[in-house]
Structure 1
Amino acid sequence: MKSIYFKKLFLMLSVSFVLTMIFSATSTYAATLKQPLMEAEPGWTRYDDTTPAIKYLGTGWTAWKATASADKGIHYNDTFHGQIDNKDVSGTVKFQFTGTGVRIIGYANGASGYAFASDVLISVDGVEEHFPMNYTAKQARTLVYEKVGLEEGVHTVELKTIKPVTRGMNVDAVDIQGGELQDIDIPMNLDAKPGNSSVTLNWNSVEAADSYVIRYGTESGKYTETVTATKDEYGNFVIPGLTNGTTYYFVVSAIIDGVESEFSNEASATPQGPVIEPEEPSGNRAILVVTMTTGLEKEYDLSMQEVNSFIDWYEAKQAGSGKASYAIDKHDNNKGPFKSRKDYILFDRVLTFEVSEY
């Protein structure tokens, strides 16, 4: 009896242990707004606040890094960017990404003397929302904002402090779903459309760009020619003097404060000459070629009405009625000094005939 009891007890404890492990593993990735999210969930990629693609614009920013052993392991990669002094919260955060979702991981703190902003404005593709960062409980690596269900494509995010407390806002990390961060200083979505001995280029503008450099060549990844464009020429920029039928490959970079960015995506196009449409027939006419039994071919340029009359005569004669010959008016063909000329075709001398309508 005791043996059965201990077996049941062991089974219950085993099931309880397995369930505990399952739910523990699940809670590690259970993303809940205003709760800590220590690592990125499956399907998401986490970027540290120090990633160059995350731009901290303006003044008032502090790049905090843990140095004391007691501070290490609290923030993601032991760093965060924050507006530590509420006297200067004019700075903004801006980044771009591809994918369908974005999460802001921050240091939520509402403690007296350390409280972060009670109102942060975030704009995703121009759609604005607000969220706080001054939680009652001090929480690092906290999911302070989430936006999912976005369409595939390039999305732009901007953050700005609206109501600071002791401090402004901060960024510990950014999580991206199904995509990656894109540097806003790199021209994106380069597109090339072919023309006659030319190619027209379009790309997304870079706000901070002073100018652009276009590189191109006839081999992918090998750019032998360079053209400079002004900061306002990011739309419908034409590269002339190209060879029709040759494929060209293009990349664009931005010049910002004298420094050149990385290249955009590569785009290609093959210039083509104008397509000459064949001339439409000027009339309802045809070339009638009659081959005689002797092998001689007679050719006539006739109206379709005349051709149809010839066919009607031939078919009627073949059926046993009609004249033995048919007169074809040669019109202006080899008329010479004569008022008119006609060829008389004998039915029994016709081997075959061909009609080429035009």
Structure 2
Amino acid sequence: MKKYFSILILAISMFSLSLFTDNSIEVNAASIGEYLPQPEEGWKRYDNTNPAIKYEGSWRHVTSTSPRYNNTESHSNVVNSSIEFYFVGTDLRIINTMANNRDSINYITIDGKKENYSDYSNNPLGDNHIVTYEKLNLENKLHHVKIEKKENSNTTYLVLDAIDVDGTLLSENEIPSGESISLDKNNLELFEGSSEKLTATVTPDTAKVIWSSSDKSIATVDQDGNVTAVREGEAIITAKIENTDIAATSTVIVKKLSNESSNAILSITLVNGITKEYDVTNNVLNDYLKWFDSAQGTSTFKFSKTISPYKKVTEYIVHDKIASFEIREY
């Protein structure tokens, strides 16, 4: 009997040792819905009271609320209340208590891309230290995060217990000021059907610029900054550095050509410094503007003039010889 007991002890010891030496046994990382009382290795946890976290709207910041992380929690039952923060890194987790008085839909926007997650559970006592949201494999750079309460209910809450990141939370005054954008023109005045290019200067010069118009029925813009006037009115053209809130704007005022028979002076300055002036109707002016926007190279536009003693004089303007032009209505 003593012999069999010794063999049993040996077998148990060998099995226990195999738990530490068997390479097939893996420890899985936490995922959404799982209990995570402390951050995993390589991550850092920031409590809801961290000054780098900005709260907007109506909030209660509660202390001595065991078993929350650091015994603190922030919550709001007012729609449009929000949480905002910046971090540098690639991975993000929201750590919260799930309960039946939590919102089932929270909006979270990371670098302009919106998703949603839930803190709701049917447990009235609450499940603590739960990963309620996770975003992995972001680009390793500065990220802007905003969480908003959108459920219009004063009986459920948007809450925050803690934030886990694999990098660092930054307060607003710690955010690098290396990115910037400006436009060469703050205002544009265009006639219907005409176009003009806006040029954006960005830092760093590798940053991608996204162009947009506040009203495409008045003025449109392509992704090269070419603005086209559509109809009379005013629109704002915005050039924004991709995945940031850094932007510059230009106000476009589109004017309507008054009528078919009214006249204007079209003053064209050529690259050699010579200026040509033509008294034109709006029909001719419209034709010229459309030609100028679509033509290139040695394409020509003709103007008819009356010069004594000649019956008719036709002048041709070559597109790539034009330095600038000016329109003076009268």
Could you state the TM-score of these two structures normalised by the residue count of structure 1? Answer: 0.45
Which structure: greater strand fraction?
A: 2
Could you state the TM-score of these two structures normalised by the residue count of structure 2? Answer: 0.49
Query: Over alpha carbons, which structure has the higher Rg?
Result: 1
